[in-house]
Structure 1
Amino acid sequence: MDTRRIVITGGPGSGKTALVSYLEKEGYPVMHEISRDVILEAQKQGIEQLFLENPILFSEKLLEGRLKQFHEGEKCAAPILFYDRGMPDVTAYMDFVSAHYPENFCETCEKFRYHEIFVLPPWEEIYEQDNERYESFEQAEKIFHFLKSSYENYGYKIHEVPVGTIKERVQFILKKLGY
């Protein structure tokens, strides 16, 4: 039996990372978001906002890291594995900033497939900007729509997770997955 690969995605400040952390505390295996690591590494090299300054380089690093996570997921023996963002997030963000990107970005997203996609909508009450999250809430709303479109363009059916407590959101996801 293959492990089901489940993506949890959403715009900045949607509660995604808190939800994934909760799943992990409940004993589910997760692959954590890597964009903050890429951002912090660039800042150590003197590049304050790598995505804004060089979106292609930033996106290449993300896609490479997420592909690595995908391959690491092949070692997972659990019935489900959660990913904090998936590879189509990369093209969604590139589309959001109207940047052209290499064809291999799309080829990678088409070749390496996830089983289920859950997207969290923007949630203004919990939204906060910080050193790595520079988008406004209005931009977060637009990113949400680009994320949905990106996954749909790759042929995925999207499950939109309702706003609520972390526990309610996790229950929604697990019920959709048959747990």
Structure 2
Amino acid sequence: MQSAQHNDGITFFDRGLIDAAVALAHSGGPTIEETLGETQAYWKRVFVVPPWRELFANDAERRHNFDAAVQEHIHIEKALDTLGYMRIELPKVSVQKRAEIVLKECGAL
């Protein structure tokens, strides 16, 4: 995240502090607010990609099942709301169309 602060362009994060804070709170650690405080670390608008059963696959990085992914997604959405982010849910369309939506939302198209 520090290197992104020096980037004049747009920087995207696939996972970040919010995801980690949600996992920590879910495992019995401090609340999201205690972990992250009042500061918004990211742009106010956050792109959210809900779990998509047809594309879901387990691998070395994704060891939990689809139902667990749905629950994690719900926890992350609640955290985003709690922290004051505006969620923009990307539709279940092609990668190209999703990219176009994101770039338009960011003013890059």
TM class by shorter chain equals 0.7 to 0.9
Aligned to 2:42: 114
Give the number of the structure with larger relative contact order, counting CA–CA contacts within 8 Å between residues 6 or more apart.
Answer: 1
Q: Tell whether the 8 Å contact from 1:73 to 1:81 is kept in structure 2 after alignment.
A: yes
Q: 1:136 aligns with which of 46, 52, 65?
A: 65
Please state whether the residue corresponding to 1:158 is helix, strand or coil: strand
- For residue 170 of structure 1, report the CA deviation from its aligned partner: 0.6
Q: Using structure 2 for the length normalisation, give the TM-score.
A: 0.84
Question: Higher helix proportion, which one?
Answer: 1
Whole-Å separation in 2 of the counterparts to 1:134 and 1:175: 33
The alignment covers a number of residue pairs equal to: 106
Q: CA RMSD in A?
A: 1.9
Runs ≥4 residues deviating over 6 A = none
Q: Secondary structure at the match of 1:140?
A: helix
Query: Matched residues, percent identical?
Result: 27
Q: 1:113 to 1:119 in 2, by over 3 A?
A: same
Tell me by how many angstroms 1:77 deviates: 2.0
Please state how far the C-alpha of 1:112 moved relative to its aligned partner: 4.7
Q: Which has the higher strand share?
A: 1
Listed as ranges, the gaps of 5+ residues in structure 1 are: 1-68
Which deviations, in whole Å up to 9, do the C-alpha atoms of 1:15-52 show, x marking residues without a partner?
Answer: xxxxxxxxxxxxxxxxxxxxxxxxxxxxxxxxxxxxxx
Gaps of 5+ in 2: none
User: 1:118·1:158 contact (CA, 8 Å) conserved in 2?
Assistant: yes
**Under a length normalisation based on structure 1, what TM-score does the superposition of the two structures give?**
0.54
Residue 35 of structure 2 is matched in structure 1 by 105
Q: Deviations over 1:135-158 (max 9, x none)?
A: 110111111111111111111010
- In the alignment, what sits opposite 2:23? 93
Q: Which amino acid aligns with 2:71?
A: K
Tell me the secondary structure at the aligned position of residue 84 of structure 1.
coil
Q: Distance in 2 between matches of 1:150 and 1:157?
A: 11
Aligned-partner Cα distance in 1 for 2:105–2:5: 23
